[in-house]
Amino acid sequence: MAEILLGTLNARYIHPSLGLRYLLANLGPLRPRAALCEFTLDHRPADIAEALLAHQPRIIALGVYVWNAAPTTHLVKLLKAIAPEVKIVLGGPEVSHETDDQAMAHLADVVITGEGEHAFAQVCAELLAEDQTSADPPPTQTQPANAPPAHVVPAEPPDLSTIITPYDLYDDDDIAHRTIYVETSRGCPHACAFCLSALDRKVRRFPKDQTLANLRSLLDRGVTHLKFVDRSLHLGHAEAVLDLLLEPRDHPVMAHFELVPDRLPQKLRPLIARFAPGTLQLEAGVQTFDPQVAARIGRAQDPARVADTLAFLATTAAHVHADLVAGLPSETLEAFATGFDRLLALGPQEIQVGILKRLRGAPITAFADDFGLVFNPEPPYEILQTSTLDFPTLMRLKRFSQAWDRVSNSGHFRDSVPLLWQNDSPSGDSPFASFLHFTDWLHAQAGRTHSIALKRLANFLFTYLTDERHLDPALVGPTLLADYRRGGRRDRPSTLQPFPEPPPEPKPKPGPGPQTKSASHQAPLKRQARHLPRT
């Protein structure tokens, strides 16, 4: 039993909540009276409510994000209907802005906006004190829909040296099976209009010694996947952190960082070049190659420097996940296609085609009238049309994004994907146009471009490449079968039955520098491992 429950709906089990752990670590004398209760989007709100109330809590605190806003709203309604005496406290990016417009905020007892490590402890102490002194019977019904907004507590950005870091709250199961989220700084020096970081342009760093001690402790405990939530890989503590990650150890570690590719410090390049295959993932936020669009949204960047950074990264063993955003103000389909083809030629292992979202509080709303931006009113608030991209075109781009992620980013068809645009593609030499043509065909055949079983997807690819592209089955079949078998599968898609067994997949080459004491450099994550080069 716990009087204070901290809960949220994570996107997947492997993604634990760093935010909840910060709140728990900083509860002070109330910490023994609190507990974590994490769920995923696969859990039904009614089942979550049952699990939470089984603890007989007096306070339930929920972390709210764009991906869980809808089910969290449902959950709050259930909790207030079933147990109106339980105090509901909400926090997180989704409720830190435009609070008055959200039904769950009206139902909650307190909403904390901003970074709540110190504010949450104070709110809990006050709610528990009120609970003990109140002689009034508990309410018997929820607030009406038109009730005033919940009590809002704005939390100022804390001095990071005063925060207790929560890494001891990752238990052994977390270490063994989940992505471990860490941070060395907060804030971002950039002002991208689509991002909430534009509201906090001052970078604040945790004390360096504390940061390194925390990381060393996690590494000593056997962590295999670290994800740094810092907004960009900058000098700050980066040199010391990369040096620490490069120390030899008995188990491989995959470390994930974000970076702004035209601002990668030169001093970090030699360190990045030392990482072995499967041990470093870099998320490069390109977003657009159109300089005018980039400047308009507050992301002034040098396309030549972006290309130079990505070209350098292509010479290293780093796994590069590059981001492009579709639906930015004034960007046309032709400009987006040009940017995609340019990015693909620079060799990142993955290109994440994201659809522009209107995050609550982000400055992107200022462009709505001038550039015809129409967003879905429901989470995750994706763009529906702009002055340069109509609704059908944006729906095609969303299907393109889904298909590209499943076919190319997944690594399942690493050697087969280039066949879609090589050898006189019907859409010309443009990889973007060729893959969009395949996406349209796939949607017409399957009625979708997502959630297609791998075996069925291999059959679709074979049919498209041989019937639509008129490629030689003797080329397509063995290539597809080798791709399909790369993940260890022993079955065969029906279209690949006639083709000979592919040779065994060779092991990846050792890295350019020592990363583990053992000879193996296999990536901790299967998706990244499928992109490792052949010997």
Q: Where are the domains of the chain?
A: 4-157, 170-366+505-535, 410-502
Amino acid letter, residue 512: P
What is the reported pLDDT for 330?
96
For the segment 314-318, the average pLDDT, to the nearest whole number, is 96
For the segment 331-341, the average pLDDT, to the nearest whole number, is 97
Task: Give the SS3 label for residue 156.
Answer: coil
pLDDT band at 148 (very low <50, low <70, confident <90, very high): very low
| For residue 140, pLDDT beyond 50 | no
pLDDT band at 53 (very low <50, low <70, confident <90, very high): very high
DSSP string of 49-83, one letter each residue = HHHHHTT--SEEEEE--TTTHHHHHHHHHHHHHH-
For the segment 6-33, the average pLDDT, to the nearest whole number, is 97
pLDDT band at 391 (very low <50, low <70, confident <90, very high): very high
What is the reported pLDDT for 503?
83
Amino acid letter, residue 444: A
pLDDT band at 170 (very low <50, low <70, confident <90, very high): very high
| For residue 160, pLDDT beyond 80 | yes
Query: What's the rounded Cα separation, in Å, for the pair 364 and 328?
Result: 9
pLDDT band at 134 (very low <50, low <70, confident <90, very high): low
CA angle in degrees (0–180, nearest 5) for 300-313-325: 40
Q: What is the pLDDT of residues 349-368, one digit of tens each?
A: 999 999 999 999 999 999 99
Query: Among residues of the chain, what percentage have pLDDT more than 70?
Result: 90
Q: Which CATH superfamily is domain 4-157 in?
A: Cobalamin-binding domain (3.40.50.280)
pLDDT band at 192 (very low <50, low <70, confident <90, very high): confident
Only one residue has tokens 């995609």, namely 340
For the segment 317-327, the average pLDDT, to the nearest whole number, is 97
What is the reported pLDDT for 183?
95
Task: Give the SS3 label for residue 44.
Answer: coil
| For residue 292, pLDDT beyond 50 | yes
DSSP string of 432-493, one letter each residue = HHHHHHHHHHHHHHHS-SSS--HHHHHHHHHHIIIIIS---HHHHHHHHHHHHHTTS-----
| For residue 534, pLDDT beyond 80 | no
What is the reported pLDDT for 426?
53
The CATH fold of domain 170-366+505-535: pyruvate-formate lyase- activating enzyme (3.80.30)
What is the reported pLDDT for 514?
43
Only one residue has tokens 């995050």, namely 359
What is the reported pLDDT for 94?
96
**Residue 212 DSSP symbol:** H
Query: What's the rounded Cα separation, in Å, for the pair 130 and 472?
Result: 76
Q: How many CA atoms lie within 13 A of 103 on its CB side?
A: 15
Query: What's the rounded Cα separation, in Å, for the pair 56 and 306?
Result: 54
Query: What's the rounded Cα separation, in Å, for the pair 177 and 328?
Result: 37
What is the reported pLDDT for 521?
41
Task: Assess contact for 231 and 205: CB atoms under 8 A.
Answer: no
| For residue 438, pLDDT beyond 70 | yes
In terms of C-beta density within 10 A (0-12 exposed, 13-18 middle, 19 or more buried), how is residue 341 classed? middle
Min mean pLDDT across 172-176, 403-407, 489-493 is at 489-493
Task: Assess contact for 62 and 38: CB atoms under 8 A.
Answer: no
For the segment 398-409, the average pLDDT, to the nearest whole number, is 97
Instruction: Compute the Cα dihedral for 119, 91, 282, 177 and give only its sign.
Output: positive
What is the reported pLDDT for 161?
95
Q: What is the pLDDT of residues 122-132, one digit of tens each?
A: 999 999 998 76
